């Protein structure tokens, strides 16, 4: 028993170390690509057409490892564009918003934002967070028991609990905005943040590999059928979209990319992730938002 107990923390530590090594590799690769781009711009005297320099933090919608040899997430799609931005991705699948904005990860993001005093300043931040908090393994906690509310889908969510988790997600976003504001003020410039609200996931009961499903088991446990449950999931994620729209109205340079209502039923690979075609459709929304803010640079 002692050997097994000791092995678990060791495996966790090794995983964290492996992730850090991968992020270090990404930082070095991004720096090298930025320097090559700057040299080419200088040599051809095309400084006005410099590609966007972006930093991304987030979950599996920014870092989806499938298909294995051709990842299809939002960042992968942006990198594959003809006029592609230079992107440093600190995103890692499976992270909740509060995890991504804990001390370590927030400081990692800030360290990169503050490292741009040599001319390699980031033009914008891309952020994907909140989906795992709402529609992850804990999804059951937000559901009311169907029998208790007489199978009324309008009462399918436990409002107080949903308010509580959305409060946590909101706090994480507010901390990101505050941290960004400090860097932007110090560098005397604007640094827009682009966020999104996922799409209305379908509780199909399909997971990915050995992970999931995340939605249908909770609905089954609370006594909701799949079709009614789909409407309840939509209510939950619509509340999240409302939160991002509220923050957009309260803070400058905080841009909510409208991604809900984008995917068809056939563009979901599983309960939480789009197919490659679906990710391409979501990525197109980001491209439109980036082009609106940075004309002719993407």
- With the CA atoms of 63, 67, 73 and 76 taken in that order, what torsion angle do they form, in degrees rounded to the nearest 10? 90
Is the residue at 240 inside a domain?
A: yes
List, for residues 247-290, the tens digit of each pLDDT value. Answer: 999 999 999 999 999 999 999 999 999 999 999 999 999 999 99
List, for residues 167-193, the tens digit of each pLDDT value. Answer: 999 999 999 999 999 999 999 999 999
Inform me whether the pLDDT recorded for 59 exceeds 70.
yes
* 153 & 260 share domain: yes
Is the residue at 39 inside a domain?
A: yes
Inform me whether the pLDDT recorded for 41 exceeds 70.
no
Taking CA atoms, 108 is separated from 12, 118, 186, 293, in Å, by 20, 18, 18, 26
CA nearest neighbour of 262 among 278, 249, 250? 278
* 149 & 29 share domain: no
**What's 288's domain CATH number?**
3.40.50.1110
Q: What is the pLDDT of residue 184?
A: 95
Its domain, for residue 286, covers 52-293
Hey, how many other C-beta atoms are within 10 angstroms of the C-beta on 93?
Answer: 18
Please compute Rg for the chain using Cα positions: 20
Collapsed DSSP state (helix, strand, coil) of residue 77? helix
pTM of structure: 0.90
Q: What is the pLDDT of residue 42?
A: 62
* 14 & 121 share domain: no
Share of the chain above pLDDT 70, in %: 89
Q: What is the pLDDT of residue 96?
A: 61
- Under the banding of pLDDT at 50, 70 and 90, the label for residue 161 is very high
* 68 & 28 share domain: no
Taking CA atoms, 167 is separated from 91, 170, 275, in Å, by 22, 5, 30
Is the residue at 235 inside a domain?
A: yes
* 3 & 112 share domain: no
9 or 56, which is more confident? 56
* 39 & 69 share domain: no
Instruction: State both tokens at 233.
Output: 């999931």
- Under the banding of pLDDT at 50, 70 and 90, the label for residue 27 is confident
Instruction: State both tokens at 206.
Output: 């399909």
State the average pLDDT over residues 201-207: 97
* 9 & 96 share domain: no
CA nearest neighbour of 26 among 108, 119, 130, 118? 108
* 102 & 149 share domain: yes
Cα–Cα dist 10/121, whole Å: 37
* 14 & 113 share domain: no
H or E element that contains 186: helix 159-187
39 or 116, which is more confident? 39
Number of domains in the chain: 2
Is the residue at 200 inside a domain?
A: yes
Is the residue at 269 inside a domain?
A: yes
* 184 & 229 share domain: yes
Q: Are 156 and 228 in contact (CB under 8 A)?
A: yes
* 96 & 243 share domain: yes
Q: What is the pLDDT of residue 47?
A: 53
List the beta bridge partners of residue 125.
55, 193
Inform me whether the pLDDT recorded for 295 exceeds 70.
yes
* 2 & 95 share domain: no
CA nearest neighbour of 139 among 215, 200, 203, 78? 215
Q: Are 59 and 131 in contact (CB under 8 A)?
A: yes
Is the residue at 298 inside a domain?
A: no
């Amino acid at each position: 028993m002692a050997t097994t107990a000791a092995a678990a923390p060791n495996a966790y530590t090794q995983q964290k170390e492996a992730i850090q090594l991968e992020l270090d590799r990404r930082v070095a690769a991004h720096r090298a690509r930025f320097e090559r781009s700057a040299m080419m711009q200088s040599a051809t005297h095309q400084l006005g057409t410099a590609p966007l320099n972006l930093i991304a933090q987030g979950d599996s919608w920014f870092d989806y490892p499938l298909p294995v040899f051709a990842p299809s997430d939002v960042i992968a799609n942006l990198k594959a564009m003809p006029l592609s931005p230079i992107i440093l991705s600190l995103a890692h699948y499976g992270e909740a918003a509060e995890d991504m904005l804990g001390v370590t990860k927030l400081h990692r993001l800030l360290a990169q934002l503050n490292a741009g005093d040599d001319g390699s300043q980031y033009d914008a931040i891309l952020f994907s967070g909140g989906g795992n908090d709402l529609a992850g393994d804990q999804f059951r906690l937000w559901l009311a028991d169907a029998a208790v509310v007489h199978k009324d889908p309008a009462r399918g969510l436990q409002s107080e609990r949903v308010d509580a988790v959305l409060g946590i997600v909101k706090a994480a976003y507010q901390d990101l905005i505050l941290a960004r504001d400090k860097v932007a003020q110090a560098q005397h410039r604007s640094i827009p943040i682009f966020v999104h609200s996922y799409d209305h996931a379908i509780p199909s009961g399909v997971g990915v590999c050995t992970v999931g499903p995340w939605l249908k088991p909770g609905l089954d446990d609370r006594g909701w059928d799949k079709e009614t449950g789909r409407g309840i999931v939509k209510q939950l994620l619509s509340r999240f979209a409302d939160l991002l729209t509220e923050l957009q109205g309260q803070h400058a340079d905080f841009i909510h990319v409208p991604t809900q209502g984008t995917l068809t039923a056939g563009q979901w690979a599983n309960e939480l992730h789009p197919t490659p075609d679906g990710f391409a459709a979501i990525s197109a929304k980001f491209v439109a938002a980036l082009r609106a803010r940075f004309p002719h640079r993407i």
